[in-house]
Structure 1
Amino acid sequence: MTGEEPDIERAFHLESFRDHLGFERGLSPRTIDAYLREARRFAAFAVSEGVAEPAGVTYQLLRDHLARLAGEGRAASTVARTVYALRGYFRFLIVEDAIESDPSERLEAPKAGRSLPDVLSVPEIEALIGATDPESRTAPRDEAMLEMLYGCGLRVSELVSLKGRELDLEEALVRVRGKGGKERFVPVGAAARSAVRRYLRTTRPALDRGRSAGHIFLNARGLPLSRMGVWKILRRHVERAGILKRVTPHTLRHSFATHLLDGGADLASVQEMLGHADISTTEIYTHVDRSHLRQVHRSHHPRG
């Protein structure tokens, strides 16, 4: 550690930023470390450029920092994470009245070389769920399955592993076992509760042949529904609904997150419901939303 580092810590409010991330935002230690690392890296760069405190930071200085990272050969996804961390840092400084304006406001994260699946619109979601085959005896199961995927933002692996004891329809909550065995509680909306109740009352008893091991969603042989089974059911619905986009089970999860944010949900709540360990993973949906706004502007504004 050099003699300058403690001064940088104080001048750039980094200790207070760490407390904010842990106590106020409740982020995981791993996420806190990542955000602090990026804030410290930028603070050191700012000092090297003659800027001794956050109030002197400009948008151009931030751009220069990101350009330097890109010039070092860092991946676009890494630079994008830096952008998300710095946005969080400068939002904190605004709240703390350490700066008067946010120089990170116009920063755009670079494309990370991978695109999200298409997000379905609300009418497309309604058409998809409503495209069950009324002649099929498993129609209530299929509807309940789609309602849970979209209504709770579940991964397909989480859906097929779901057991009855993990679903509380009275409390409108489902306990989900996500990646790495981590558990989270996700609200179950009215439409999903109604569809699941109908499935449990009318269809699942006929499917259950004593081999379900307590799983909620079963196939025609009475065994837990597989991920491939979910894919096949979804594909039939997509075809019947006449949706031309490429739709996967994960598309419904992306649609869940995007529609929540479009409706005004805060990022931390969506992160919790999705089970993301790092909020920068959730923040990609805000980037999708900005891209959509730009497309609308280009398409409909006379000078777009």
Structure 2
Amino acid sequence: MVGMTTVSVQTEQLINQFLDHLWLENGTSQNTLTAYRSDLSGLAKWLAPKQLQIASTDQLQSYLQYRLQSGYNKRSQARCLSVLRRFFRYLLLQQLRQDDPTQHIAMPKLARYLPKSLSEQQVEALLDAPDIATLVGQRDKAMLELLYSSGLRVSELVSLTVHQLNLNRGALRIVGKGNKERLVPVGEEAQSWLESYLANARSYLVGNANSDVLFPSTRGTAMTRQTFWHRVKKYAVIAGVAGNVSPHTLRHAFATHLVNHGANLRAVQMMLGHSDLSTTQIYTYVAQHRLQQLYKEHHPRA
């Protein structure tokens, strides 16, 4: 087995060029680029100096086996192989090598992950949990209603500004992963609570702060993801919704309930901001899984 080494300057430059390419061409997020750098640097350290560019299929398979023996799970292995495929295809594109050593390496078979969702009754209980007699409760009520209405990521929700919301059109302008912009509809119920919140609570929460944040904290500044996560956990307890409920759970509920009621999968993909339809297809399996459960529970010959 080849020992771990340091990454050469030449290899570091090659990795930087690849990551710059992804950022310029696709607007890949900084978090994703950091993960890609870690995966590629790990391989470069495992190989002999300056060998990354000319790595063979056998070497890559040996490295993946080394990771497996080191305790990495199949999902982590799949992500690493996906990064390697993109990297070596980039080298082909740049004519820095003539073949793709990842071409015949099979992707690990992963168990299908079904995201945790909530029933429509559980969502109703969660949305009714904030105390709307308080300013903070009015803000949180509007946030929860919007989250379920539009399926936002929590980072998108807490970073919203008043300029991104158009209540007349019932739409939000969202800048999501990779700086990709999309328009997301806002349901009538969420619109109503947003109008009430903007008329009665937001100005008091902003105070003297010169802020355009749609949902400010009690200090008038943008709320952190962690703060809102704790707010959701609190409301889940009040609503009697068991399990690990998070803002992302409401995003899953948004998509699952749309699919359950016959929504077009491509439309759900656009609203969620998924770049690949295969990511959205998981919700068809969630719906099928739920139907199978209901059948087993209620059919006399199940």
Do the two structures share a fold, i.e. TM-score over 0.5?
yes
What is aligned with 1:191?
A: 189
**Of 255, 258, 276, which residue of structure 2 is paired with 1:257?**
255
| Match for residue 180 of structure 1 among 178, 181, 206 | 178
Residue 82 of structure 2: aligned partner: none
Q: Deviations over 1:235-280 (max 9, x none)?
A: 1111110111321100000000011111111110000100100000
TM-score (norm 1): 0.62
Specify every segment of 5 or more residues in structure 2 that has no aligned partner in the other structure, as ranges.
Answer: 1-25, 27-73, 79-107
Residue identity in the other structure for 1:263: H
Paired residue for 1:157? 155
Shift of the 111–173 alpha-carbon distance from structure 1 to 2, 3 Å rule, reads: farther
The secondary structure found in structure 2 opposite 1:112 is: coil
Which has the higher mean CA deviation after the structures are superposed, 206-215 or 279-288? 206-215
1: distance between equivalents of 2:250 and 2:210? 25
Superposed displacement of residue 137, structure 1: 2.6
Q: Which residue of 1 aligns with 2:298?
A: 300
CA distance in 2, matches of 1:195, 1:139: 11
Query: Is the partner of 2:174 in helix, strand or coil?
Result: strand
Alignment check: 8 A CA contact 1:137 1:203 kept? yes
Aligned to 2:281, the other structure's residue is in SS state helix
Aligned to 1:268: 266
1:42-53 correspondence to structure 2 within 5 Å: none
**Match for residue 168 of structure 2 among 154, 163, 170:** 170
Distance 1:231 1:217 in 2: 14
2:229 to 203, 206, 231: 231
Aligned with 2:129 (options 125, 128, 131): 131
Figure out how many residues of one structure are paired with residues of the other and give that number. 201
CA shift digits 1:73-97 (9 cap, x unpaired)? xx6897xxxxxxxxxxxxxxxxxxx
User: What's the TM-score once normalised by structure 2's chain length?
Assistant: 0.62
Check conservation: 2:114, 2:285, Cα contact below 8 A.
no
Aligned counterpart, 1:283: 281
Number of the residue aligned with 2:48: none
Matched AA of 1:160: V
Distance 2:200 2:132 in 1: 14
Kindly provide the amino acid, as one letter, of the partner of residue 195 in structure 1. W
Aligned equivalents of 2:208, 2:155: Cα separation in 1: 22
C-alpha displacement at 1:302, in angstroms? Answer: 2.7
Percent sequence identity is 46
Matches within 5 A, 1:33-44: none
Q: Any conservation in 2 of the 1:117–1:247 contact (CA below 8 Å)?
A: no
Tell me: CA distance 1:111–1:234, structure 2 relative to 1, closer, same or farther (3 Å): farther
Q: Is the 8 A contact 1:174 1:188 kept in 2?
A: yes
Give secondary structure in 2 for the equivalent of 1:271: helix
- Alpha-carbon shift at residue 212 of structure 1 (Å): 5.4
What letter is aligned with 1:232? H
Question: CA RMSD, aligned part only?
Answer: 2.3
**AA partner of residue 246 (structure 1):** N
| C-alpha distance 112-210 of structure 1, shift in aligned 2 (>3 A) | farther
Query: Which 5+ residue runs of structure 1 have no aligned equivalent?
Result: 1-27, 29-74, 79-109
254 and 111 in structure 1: CA distance in 2 versus 1, 3 angstrom threshold: farther
Q: Report Cα offsets for 1:11-33 as digits up to 9, x if no partner.
A: xxxxxxxxxxxxxxxxx9xxxxx
Q: Secondary structure at the match of 2:173?
A: strand
State the Cα distance separating 1:118 from its structure 2 match.
2.1
Is residue 216 from structure 1 mapped to residue 221 from structure 2 by the alignment? no
Residues 211 and 112 (structure 1), Cα distance of their counterparts in 2 relative to 1, 3 Å cut: farther
Letter in 1 for 2:138: P
Pairwise CA distance, 1:301: 2.2
Cα deviation code 1:24-71 (max 9, x no counterpart)? xxxx9xxxxxxxxxxxxxxxxxxxxxxxxxxxxxxxxxxxxxxxxxxx
Partner of 1:247: 245
